[in-house]
Structure 1
């Protein structure tokens, strides 16, 4: 029998067209860590979310913080009966102790553990279900919850509250409660009156190793006990039969990692690194005639609820895997399933050009030491994820690591360049890596950093003429350009930047200047080519820092640079945003050579806007609003003049999985703002898009507006600063709106706050100069 791949299955809830103000996730669903089969559905848990697979309809459904889960760090899942006999609930435990109950009608949250006054680790490690009650193995004991009443009914402290003991699994067997812990196995009578007391628990003394050893797994069949002893990485799987312990036949004495254990009747299922093993009633290994293959990275295994011939596997490669041990003609086959998404959650930098989003997946730490991330090159092109096959590494370090910046060619969006912190400059065309530029085929030089010679590209950006500027760190040529004719040119900076000084990101402004970040408190360098990048003899440069004579920055720590639609240069510093009103003035020594900050009044006091925030990313949407990412406070969206905050998104009020924002990129064609965090990539469908001065293709979304639509009504394809009039069929004015970029938004309400009634409505648009007009119509059918 063959192997079938089902990756981009029809998903129960589409992530395509969606209302303004809604969120989307782009998480690595192909890396599954836990599996929980139920009748008619199989649940799979990843590091960041959960998804469900419905075998009958071959559909997938995402369950992430976007769809209502409370956290983005699930650590355990289990299925329990809920309400009526045919219903069930998925219990989701999190790394911080939070609990969600996922049902057909929504998510119920149980924050009892996370809100408790317990100090230290509260993580949920495993869940055992017995009827309507679930027994949560946690880092401090066992928490018992009733899923029907949605309440905590008991907490068991195995060695007392003064000596908290981590529990790895809970089992009910032969009139006893048994717990596998970080210090052996303990048991207690099921009918004991006070299981919360340590006096109820007795430690096993007959383990085949030290009774206080870590026990990561405990499992019972009709006449055997299975226990995995050790640190989990090099543990040993022991079998107890007729009072005697022995290693499972074939298990290495030096230990191995156990990736799941299950049984059905007397058939034992064991998860190993790259394959599953089934054992018969005599513990003989069952030969597999339909094996999936050794490509998996197994993390959990479970028999399906229907029969022992179907095994569900959680794999870090391939997602949720169905293994059919005994296939029948016309029956189900081996296959794997997961919702579409990137290969990894790593995303340091983003670049977007309409429906082309590319991700730099590597990283450096605060001191710019490489993280040795080798995820590779990935992009979202026309709503499909592309994982680019890398060329062979051309230095002594295996693989291509730490891709830390990306820039799309504006003249050819299918051509993308990436900067690697150890390999050099990477060129990708039409989803294929075609070239690595290094010291063997360009002016790029090796630097001696990170413990060995390597090529560090710290940043890159295309200028208005199609030339690619990039930094070549810790070399004699730290700033270089790849001209649009394919020629490499090194800027002659002399001793301005020494071999020991770092040089980072690049921003090319529309007035022809090159702004360069100097990490680790070095400020900024602004480079002037005198509009002749191929001729370095007439070039000039300036350094900006906190000195009033050299820019007067609020901080020497500058993390990002961006230019808004008015030509203002915004710098994201360790003490809020700073603004320059052009580049040329820096070289003319005129009055605009000092950075400006926005003074606002708050609670009767004057202060600089976001002066206590470290700004990690700044981007501008089609309405010239400022999207500002911070280190620790999420995202601020400022008005086009920067004087007011229109949105503030954080983990407290939005589905952002982490308040440390790494980067932001905006698809100006539809207003979608992509947000990179350490916990993955998400997006928000914003209110502003790019504009069309001719207004030849204006349209309304949704059209018609039916009873299922919940959100604003948008008019797209408008000119910049356009006025939109909405009338009913009789010509009565219903609403007047101003566009943000090329999009105007109407809340769908009349002046008295009631929803606009059933009918046909006309849209009339006129640009800011009164030169262009356009019209369309739409229907409300709710």
Structure 2
């Protein structure tokens, strides 16, 4: 990645949320970023705030083929339109103070304009003037309603809404008036309830209701053509005269290609876990997968396209040593975050987690990391799964059961390492949250010693750890318990000269401005 002044972007590209074709490029959106694949050269281009986009969190995309304009909608309802070498921002929806759900769930290019499916209703964007043309509030009784998708079929706008499938004539002078819309769900074979998606293919209209796909026949009746018990339906999209159905279940995903009668013509599965969007271009099938980025299927099999990047955002600790940068993905929230640890060395990211190293599958919520500059050995702490050592050669060792590390007193199988620091003698100090002995040290020779603050705190909480220039160990006690300081007088083997101090709010107790300490530096 070339430097931008003194800044570079390192956004995650593993989780894809959408894919579309635009001229000779395939665009793939992630929750944080956007990239494209040149279909001729197979080269990848990244787009972010570093290249002129106005936001980071993407929601959906749409391409208008006649003008060549690409619309990007963000989770905060801001909009960018990429046209040639320009990026035009339309912030109107973001800035508008509205009670309700302004999120843009889908976008479609119809008759030269962009139609946004939002939590309010339908918003039409003038693609030539780069402005909002109109807003359609089409819920029952004129209320707001979430719209999942909108298509034009046989001269009628069809909207997939939380109240069901609705239609109005495209020639209607006032599609913004709810009374002009007709509800189609709950009759002629189409179930009542939310309509989740719409597709026009082979002169037919397809609707996704729950985990089923229906097609509208020439007689005005709807027919169920696809259901797969045990599979969740994530989206439907056109593929020439056919329809692509993205499905998933725990541990696997697939994309089915079906025709009007529901016959399965193809099933794409290799590399898919949670496919959420798919398209067909030039006999190639492209799939956006929430776990495995962008995958292309051709006659020879499956190919993966993903810019080198960390697997996810870094919520935990950061550390840099000898031109090697480490970032951890987890937090103390205990969200079972298994995205692990990320290493940047010589311009390339390497991801340490259960997806790439099965032995690490039990290490969730990695919150802290440190590296020994003399050996480049990294140490990282899991808030539940113990301590991990990664040698410069890539050898992995986990410390929890059958090690001096202590489990949480109230949860014997849980080993929380919340902070790490290395002293001048190359001893590794460990903040062991919730344990009987909350401060551990692994000495340079491999021997362990255990200590515990002589203070009673709620949940025996221990957090980030820092060693100052005098060798004193400073530890946060999360939950509004202030700060501990431990001075072993640089003789960890001699407990008789150890000293502890508890810093809290108030005179005579350290006079901290607050007992809620967030970080140390």
Q: Same fold (TM over 0.5)?
A: yes
Partner of residue 457, structure 1: 417
Partner of residue 430, structure 2: 470
Matches of 2:196 and 2:90 in 1, distance apart?
26
8 Å CA contact retained: 1:464, 1:508: no
8 Å CA contact retained: 1:275, 1:294: no
| Superimposed CA distance per residue, residues 282-325 of structure 1 (whole angstroms, 9 cap, x where no aligned partner) | 5422256xx56154421100111xx3x2111111233222212x
Matches of 2:220 and 2:476 in 1, distance apart?
69
User: C-alpha displacement at 1:426, in angstroms?
Assistant: 0.9
SS of the residue corresponding to residue 192 of structure 1 reads coil
Partner of residue 551, structure 1: 510
SS of the residue corresponding to residue 559 of structure 1 reads coil
Label 1:508 to 1:50 Cα distance change in 2 as closer, same or farther (>3 A). same
8 Å CA contact retained: 1:410, 1:462: no
Structure-2-length-normalised TM-score: 0.92
Query: Is 1:148 the counterpart of 2:131 in the alignment?
Result: no
Matches of 1:145 and 1:475 in 2, distance apart?
58
Label 1:18 to 1:108 Cα distance change in 2 as closer, same or farther (>3 A). closer
Query: Is 1:507 the counterpart of 2:488 in the alignment?
Result: no
User: C-alpha displacement at 1:254, in angstroms?
Assistant: 7.0
Q: Which runs of 5+ in 1 are unaligned?
A: 1-14, 328-332, 563-782
Label 1:372 to 1:318 Cα distance change in 2 as closer, same or farther (>3 A). closer
Query: Is 1:357 the counterpart of 2:333 in the alignment?
Result: no
Counterpart of 1:423 (choices 363, 382, 385) is 385
Matches of 1:281 and 1:176 in 2, distance apart?
20
Count the aligned residue pairs.
513
Partner of residue 487, structure 1: 447
Label 1:375 to 1:254 Cα distance change in 2 as closer, same or farther (>3 A). closer
Partner of residue 105, structure 1: 85
Partner of residue 284, structure 2: 310
Q: CA RMSD in A?
A: 2.3
8 Å CA contact retained: 1:49, 1:63: yes
Partner of residue 232, structure 2: 256
Report 1:309-708 matches (<5 A). Answer: 309-324=283-298, 326=299, 334-365=302-333, 370-388=334-352, 399-412=362-375, 414-430=376-392, 432-441=394-403, 443-449=404-410, 453-491=413-451, 493=453, 495-497=454-456, 500-562=459-521
Label 1:260 to 1:99 Cα distance change in 2 as closer, same or farther (>3 A). same
Matches of 2:183 and 2:115 in 1, distance apart?
19
SS of the residue corresponding to residue 537 of structure 1 reads helix
Partner of residue 206, structure 1: 187
Partner of residue 744, structure 1: none
| Superimposed CA distance per residue, residues 534-570 of structure 1 (whole angstroms, 9 cap, x where no aligned partner) | 22222112111123223221111112222xxxxxxxx
Structure-1-length-normalised TM-score: 0.62
SS of the residue corresponding to residue 445 of structure 1 reads coil
Partner of residue 223, structure 2: 246
Label 1:283 to 1:498 Cα distance change in 2 as closer, same or farther (>3 A). closer
SS of the residue corresponding to residue 199 of structure 1 reads helix
8 Å CA contact retained: 2:481, 2:516: yes
Partner of residue 208, structure 2: 228
User: C-alpha displacement at 1:38, in angstroms?
Assistant: 1.7
Matches of 1:88 and 1:378 in 2, distance apart?
37
8 Å CA contact retained: 2:188, 2:221: no
| Superimposed CA distance per residue, residues 347-394 of structure 1 (whole angstroms, 9 cap, x where no aligned partner) | 3111111421111211123xxxx2221112221122211122557679
User: C-alpha displacement at 1:399, in angstroms?
Assistant: 2.0
Partner of residue 644, structure 1: none
Counterpart of 2:242 (choices 245, 267, 274) is 267
8 Å CA contact retained: 1:160, 1:197: no
8 Å CA contact retained: 1:388, 1:431: no
SS of the residue corresponding to residue 496 of structure 2 reads helix
8 Å CA contact retained: 1:33, 1:314: yes
User: Which range is displaced more, 191-200 or 274-283?
Assistant: 274-283
Matches of 2:396 and 2:318 in 1, distance apart?
20
User: C-alpha displacement at 1:223, in angstroms?
Assistant: 5.1
User: C-alpha displacement at 1:167, in angstroms?
Assistant: 0.8
SS of the residue corresponding to residue 519 of structure 2 reads strand
The structure with the largest alpha-carbon Rg is 1
Q: Which runs of 5+ in 2 are unaligned?
A: none
Partner of residue 70, structure 2: 90
Partner of residue 5, structure 2: 19
8 Å CA contact retained: 2:205, 2:216: yes
User: C-alpha displacement at 1:198, in angstroms?
Assistant: 1.2
8 Å CA contact retained: 2:11, 2:310: yes
8 Å CA contact retained: 2:369, 2:381: yes
Matches of 2:358 and 2:18 in 1, distance apart?
33
User: C-alpha displacement at 1:400, in angstroms?
Assistant: 1.4
8 Å CA contact retained: 2:457, 2:481: no
Matches of 1:129 and 1:498 in 2, distance apart?
59
Label 1:402 to 1:302 Cα distance change in 2 as closer, same or farther (>3 A). same
Per chain length, whose mean CA-contact separation is higher, i.e. which structure has more relative contact order (CA < 8 Å, sep 6+)? 1
Matches of 1:122 and 1:287 in 2, distance apart?
37
8 Å CA contact retained: 2:4, 2:50: no
8 Å CA contact retained: 1:89, 1:101: yes
Partner of residue 135, structure 1: 115
